[in-house]
Amino acid sequence: MDKLYNLRMRAAQGGSHEQGGTHISGGERITCFSNIQQVAMYLLEKGLTHCKGRPDFMQIQLESIPESVTYVQPLERWANVERFVKEGDTFLKEGKTVAFQLLEIIGIPKKVIDRAVEIVSQYSSMRGAVLIDAHSGKRLDDRGEKGVRVSRLDWLGNDFEKWARYYHVSANSRIREALALAAKVNNHPATIAELCWSDDPDYTTGYVASRKMGYQRIENIKTYGDERGCRIFFVDGQKDIRSYINYLENQPVLITWEG
């Protein structure tokens, strides 16, 4: 196989993330040499045209991938969760309620879910995930507002396009990236479940993912206009957290789908 490269972009407004700037956009792609320019253009455009605003800081980093790549299947089950109420003020509440109910079915206690959401809501702009012990509700990483950024992941070749055609899903890059991340995260045995919604004010669909339940999309999980995102990994605290974080940040993963 050709040598592979990881491209990673992050953009912020009001200075870099380290200087306290607000996170605008991030993105990850793995590509072969001949596609680097095209992928860099995609990431540049993603950061420059984001609905959260114009960045005044951006970094696009290229690195070759020396380690061996792990190949991972997408989560088995793809679902658009039926919501109970579709109108009125209760609309929003129901979206979160559905997400929390799914997490409880997976086995996360309600007090742990509440604690996790409370921890995330302390931060106004996070670019990474918060790791929560699924039994105690304690935060397991020490990354503060930065969180743990899952890196070095992508779909192999045009497997995403094939997958999207099969499931009649629009082959957009947001779903592409969210599915790849959920597949990488939930492939690790320490992950019990993931809860995510976007920090983009105009994007109100989120998801709950786990090996057990697959990728469950939930519409209207937050209010339109809200710039606070959420990415929580509910983790088996008995596992080695350092090697788990190392997997999330450093292990190159390509998502393959045979169809």
Residues that bind Mg ion (CB under 5 A): 26, 199-200
Binding partner of residue 206 among Mg ion, ligand PML, none, CB cut-off 5 to 8 Å per kind: ligand PML
- The residue nearest ligand PML at its CB is 198
Q: Cα separation of 135 and 122, whole Å?
A: 21
Residue 85 neighbours by CB under 8 Å, 6+ apart: 91, 94
At residue 11, φ and ψ (nearest 5 deg) are: -135, 145
Task: Check binding of 204 to ligand PML (CB under 6 A).
Answer: no
Considering only residues 152 through 181, tell me which ones interact with ligand PML, judged by CB under 6 A: 174-175, 178
Task: Check binding of 217 to ligand PML (CB under 6 A).
Answer: yes
Which residue in 87, 136, 141, 117 sits closest to 206, CA to CA?
117
Nearer to Mg ion, 26 or 252 (CB): 26
For residues 66-85, b (16+ Cβ closer than 10 Å) or e, as one string?
A: eeebeebebbeebeebeeee
Task: Check binding of 198 to ligand PML (CB under 6 A).
Answer: yes
Which residue in 212, 161, 203 sits closest to 182, CA to CA?
212
State CA 108 to chain mean position distance: 19
Q: Cα separation of 142 and 156, whole Å?
A: 32
Nearer to ligand PML, 10 or 137 (CB): 10
**Smallest distance, Mg ion to C-beta of residue 27, A:** 7
Binding partner of residue 232 among Mg ion, ligand PML, none, CB cut-off 5 to 8 Å per kind: none
Task: Check binding of 98 to ligand PML (CB under 6 A).
Answer: no
DSSP 3-state assignment of 63? strand
Binding partner of residue 207 among ligand PML, Mg ion, none, CB cut-off 5 to 8 Å per kind: ligand PML
Nearer to ligand PML, 130 or 178 (CB): 178
**Amino acid at residue number 236:** D
Nearer to Mg ion, 16 or 97 (CB): 16
* List of residues contacting ligand PML (CB under 6 A): 174-175, 178, 196, 198, 200, 203, 205-207, 217
